[in-house]
Amino acid sequence: MTNPIPLVAPGFSIFDQNIPLAIAIVVVASFLFAGGSTIQHLAVSRSVDKTAENRSMGMGQIWDLVRNPRWLLGLATVATGASMHIVGLMMAPVTVVQPVGILAVPWAVLLAAKIHHFRPGRAIWGAVALTILGIVVFTLFSASTAAPDTELPPTRIIVASLIVFAVGGILGYLGRFGSPAIRCLMWASGGSFFYGLSSAMVKTVSELVRSGNFLGRPLFWTVAAFLLVCYLVGGFMVQQGYANGPAEIVVGSMTTTDPIVAVTFGLAVLGEGVRLGWTDAVGMLISGAVAVGGVVILSKYHPEAQHNQIATRAAEARDEAAREEAARDGAAEELERQ
């Protein structure tokens, strides 16, 4: 049974379904996530060469970050938000809770505007509005069809998890190529697949714990191992995203791709889509595509992305001038030899 807000009753458990309270908790978590991500981006951006064609960090740079007080502050902030998010997942279906995290996008834009002293233009706010609109509609569809109970089919859970691992790994590989904006988007999207799966794993673990005698079930330990991999690999990819682009793009990608992955997993694997009709499915597909489109636009028109494009063109012009000068020198030397 769904309990109302506030919950001040004997026998309260965070495993009791309480959708309104879960959403309220995740709203606060989204602000903490945006703040922590912005702090981490500031730390990462100072540890990479912004003029390099590929800013991906090596393990030495990652180790330096682990000892950076500013990065650790960001990590603690993100961890606090993640903990609140986990509580929300325990109190409501993943198809309802996960999309609310998209609120981190406008938080991140506002924080970046304050820190870097720029005023977001219409294109940026339009991209943010498009992303939020898509996820809000997506959430309305998912919440209206959310199932009260969660299924735990071991085979489906394991196979689906491995598929998500593969897709996330491919996106991470693609993060090694292209412009900084593209690399940032690919790294962040790859990390988002792992983080989206981690939310589904948290929900699975909470259901196993609630069912009792969970320590004796192989599925519990398998899911726990998957969860650890998701946090480690996803965290690594997200830091690479910070190294290649602004926090807003990383946050926008994560809070869009992450819920889509988690919700899809919940619907298709955990049985939360038993009430889903074909019209609801089409609506979720369209609204999800709109949200992803908003993030892509944000990655294109963000001031840092514009600056990167200008810097890239300037570097290409310098390289071309150097090649032409070298060709002229070579031609002059050839004439002297003749």
Task: Render pLDDT for 1-13 as a digit per residue (tens, 0 to 9).
Answer: 344 444 444 454 5
- The token duo for 21 is 């309270």
Please tell me the predicted confidence (pLDDT) of residue 312. 53
The pLDDT tens digits of the residues spanning 283-308 come to: 888 988 887 788 777 766 665 555 55
Range 253-280 average pLDDT? 79
Please tell me the predicted confidence (pLDDT) of residue 225. 93
Q: Is the overall model pTM greater than 0.75, yes or no?
A: no
CA distance 307 to 44: 18
Write the CA distances from 261 to 110, 191, 200, 221, integer angstroms: 26, 11, 9, 22
Please tell me the predicted confidence (pLDDT) of residue 314. 52
Report cis status (omega within 30 of 0) of the bond before 99.
Answer: no
The pLDDT tens digits of the residues spanning 214-244 come to: 787 888 999 999 999 998 999 888 888 887 7
Task: Indicate the SS3 state at residue 302.
Answer: coil
Query: Which are the contacts of 38, defined by CB distance < 8 A and separation ≥ 6?
Result: 74, 108, 111, 112, 115, 247
The pLDDT tens digits of the residues spanning 173-186 come to: 988 888 777 888 89
Residue 56, CA atoms < 13 Å, CB-side half-sphere:
17
Which residue would you say has higher pLDDT here, 236 or 50?
Answer: 236
